Chain A
């Protein structure tokens, strides 16, 4: 992190690749004072630390627009330290953290405390997302000006939708002042009606109350209509249904200022996973049907869905080791997101360039973050990967404090070898075991 005292490093023998900048080549990377100085056929000048990339692929570090680090307030689930460690182990060098902490990130003091803690930890860059309404209560707008000045890069009541269409309208209008997007968790609580998994044949068979697709889609429709009237910028969190993808596609065709994300679980799993993974397959929105999974992939292919985010949502084992309907929603995702997403490349849905773009430059651009590029002069936030390297998820534990993942035990392809933030080596797969 520490930008001012950013470090110098010489990375030898890599294939560097940044599709957004059209950067692609083989050679070395010279990093000076935390920024990339030159790429390619360069040699180390002076006495800088060297690492050997062994011919691995070097991408711009991944940028996660949606994670929960649980600090302050729920440090037994995750801390900024453990979350950042999980992030860099998964190749994420920048993470945007949601506001549903305790206290909620609805004042500049909380924002500053999060940033200060992240600086002390010094692994991933952490970008706080401020609440849209005070205490996530849905009634009073937060002081977005102060929050922006303190470092909030977007606003969201994530965990729940912005409570009313009127409040959403005000938030979209007011946030224009700071050119920051409003992120909405799209769900109609009335239609969800305490549902615990996707509504469909699986929920009916398991006797679990369902969350229909319409629950997400009613809210996406509301948000797009409000956006059209209010202006501002809307970012739709974790799209999971075919209908929601269709609506966002149509809105983009009409040039509405909307962007969207999905998460690896929505394009890799369906509600069938609830049968074998139990509460580790419980998240909100829920895993949907196969038709929805395929529609989400289509959305990623044609750009309707801009980015892959993790919705990393750690919960302690005593919370997940409960009756299905009592366990909290959410799974961890930072450490598995890249490998799970790489499957899309292997199956021919996305090119590697498209995948890297949706994990780095594109998310950075949406929230206006100064990261996600591998170019001379850019911040040296980089990730070195071995695309064919195999590993078994969770076999060495996780760097996250929690282990609520449906992927535990799966053999994954695509290994994060090393992660560099601001020229500092913050993760080395050879160097450390999990905490």
Chain B
């Protein structure tokens, strides 16, 4: 198994994964190929490989998260790392400790890697500049969510067989979406045509320089698309005046079987979760064959295994005490 992973020859990146902005198509492909080989691990009876044995990964989540945190935890455990979850409600953060003091303490405790999710854009880069351990951005504010974009890329490649040349529509609250920002970069870099579909209030200002086409009407935006990625709508956006009401949003931008059949009959539907049923997506059973939402979750574990392995284990001698592979 390990030999097979090493044989993918994925080009190295790191020491951190803070944003997808610096990742070349070769690096992206290397991560996807590595994830592909890890996919098998999940199908074995003993779902573990020893590549990160003796390493400690800390999940530091300042925002609630089920799937991302569990996904990182499962990924790290399958790589035989020790995992500790720190969430601010039960830590000294509630006593007013600064982010910097918190992460320095975690590092001093012996963490080799830190997955951080934080409501402030730029927080992972801020701590990475001041730490020696590997820092992985688990989602920061409205900035980046690199592993989500990688798992979306993986899901699209797996289900559609390619990425280059596909028309991908990202629908919803682009303005506040770190998922959209990361996906726009990775998809464009891999040769997909990216469309953004949102009301003008939810399109980021100054977007002219981005490699995207902007649409405001759903029917125009998703017509003929190969992939439709719906974003989660934070329900408080209505209170912020970005949309008049959630129900009007659902009527104008909701994805359902009718819309898909009419405009993009073959399109794969993605959603980073958790889904507001009846808002971004309704009647998923009507297009179950085209929904990749659970595949995203499953593939997410392999993609995160690949990221952790390439950052924390790849190339380092001590990571491979048993180079022959003796699972």
Contacts and interface: CB of A to CB of B under 8 A. Distances in A.
B123 interface: yes
Interface stretch (B66-74, B205-213, B223-231, B288-296): B205-213
B206 A325 contact: no
A202 interface: yes
B204 A278 contact: no
B205 A212 contact: yes
Interface stretch (A15-23, A47-55, A315-323): A315-323
Interface residues of B, number: 23
A275 to B, nearest CB: 10
Interface residues on A, range: 20 to 34
Interface string A189-214: 00000000001111111111110100
Nearest to B100: A321
B234 to A, nearest CB: 14
A323 B208 contact: no
B207 A323 contact: no
A321 B129 CA distance: 11
Interface stretch (B31-39, B141-149, B267-275): B141-149
A174 interface: no
Given A207-B178, A207-B181, A325 B207 contact: no
Interface in B140-173: 140-144
Interface of B: 98-100, 118, 120-123, 126, 140-144, 178, 181, 204-210
Among B100, B140, B141, B207, max chain A CB count under 10 A is at B141
A326 B205 contact: no
A74 interface: no
Contacts, number: 62
A367 interface: no
27 contacts: A201-B205, A201-B206, A201-B208, A202-B206, A203-B205, A204-B205, A206-B121, A206-B122, A207-B121, A207-B122, A207-B141, A207-B142, A207-B181, A208-B121, A208-B143, A209-B142, A210-B205, A278-B122, A278-B126, A321-B100, A322-B100, A323-B99, A323-B118, A323-B120, A323-B123, A324-B126, A325-B120
Nearest to B126: A323
A196 to B, nearest CB: 9
B206 A322 contact: no
A65 to B, nearest CB: 32
* The 4 residue pairs across chains A and B that have the minimum distance between CB atoms: A207-B143, A201-B206, A323-B120, A204-B204
A383 B123 CA distance: 43
B230 to A, nearest CB: 20
B161 to A, nearest CB: 31
A204 B206 contact: yes
A205 B120 contact: no
A324 B99 CA distance: 12
Given A199-B205, A201-B209, A203-B205, A322 B121 contact: no
Nearest to A212: B205
Contacts of A202: 206
A205 B99 CA distance: 23
A247 B219 CA distance: 42
B120 A326 contact: yes
A259 to B, nearest CB: 31
B142 A200 contact: no
Contact of B206 (A203, A321, A326): A203
